[in-house]
Each structure stands twice: as C-alpha cells, then as structure tokens.
Structure 1
Amino acid sequence: MHDLHLTTLADMSPEDMARTRLAGLRRQHRELDEAIAAMAAQGSVCSMTLGRLKRTKLALKDQIARLEDELTPDIIA
C-alpha cells in the first residue's frame, strides 16, 4: 500500500481554502475569456449570450479582487 496524504477541507487553513478558491476563480475567469474570444472570432454571436458571459466574467473579477484583498496583509504606515 502507498501512503498517500490527501488534503481535505478539514485539513486546510482558512487562508489555504481562500487560495484554493482564488485559483479556481482565476481558472473560471480565464476560461470565460477564452470562450468570449472564440465567440467573437466566429462573427455571428448572440449579443444576449455574449453579454451574459461578460457579466459573469466581471462578477468573477470582482470576487477575485475581494479574495486578493483578504489575502493581502494590511500595511500599517
């Protein structure tokens, strides 16, 4: 038998969980960006679908910014 250590949510610190969530949000944002670019390259794009994807991408960007702020320590000047 191999002794494999699988990290579970119970084993993760709140910071580790936030970093994992941040990585997932960044991946989703990148995938949406690629999907939007592919749709735009096709030429015939449903403007409602494109608008929905762009709003979703913007919401992800906001979530990413909030998580980055949480993970960045405040600098006392």
Structure 2
Amino acid sequence: MQTAHLSALEAKHAVLDRRIAEEEHRPMPDTYLVADLKKQKLRVKEEIALAH
C-alpha cells in the first residue's frame, strides 16, 4: 500500500521528469537549469527508494 507521502514524491518525480524533457527539447536549453532539475529528480528518487 502506498502512503500519501510516497505518492507525492512519485508525482514530484514525474513533474521534474517532464520539466527536464521540455527544457531539453527547446531550441537553446538552459544547461544549468537542466542540471539543477536532474539533481532535484535524483534527490526525490533517493527519497522514494528510502520510503519503500
């Protein structure tokens, strides 16, 4: 059974994934923004792994 916290983390992970994809597909992506978003996504992924 998933907790509300785990569901929220998974939703945040999905949002970050979409934001990364959107930024990478722009004509001139902001590489610093992409790197920051990827770091955030990794932190969320690690938190999800700890919650399991």
In the TM superposition, structure 1's runs of 4+ consecutive aligned residues that sit over 2 Å from their partners are none
More RCO (CA 8 Å, sep 6+): 2
Match of 1:55 in 2: 39
5+ residue gaps, structure 2:
none
TM superposition shift of 1:28: 0.3
Match of 2:49 in 1: 65
In 2, distance between residues paired with 1:31 and 1:50?
13
- What TM-score results when the alignment is normalised by the length of structure 1? 0.63
Match of 1:72 in 2: none
Larger helix share, 1 or 2? 2
In 2, distance between residues paired with 1:37 and 1:45?
10
In 1, distance between residues paired with 2:27 and 2:34?
12
Q: Which has the larger radius of gyration?
A: 1
- Aligned-residue CA RMSD (Å): 1.5
| Match status 1:36 vs 2:13 | no
Matched AA of 2:35 = G
In 2, distance between residues paired with 1:37 and 1:25?
18
- What TM-score results when the alignment is normalised by the length of structure 2? 0.91
Counting matched residue pairs gives 52
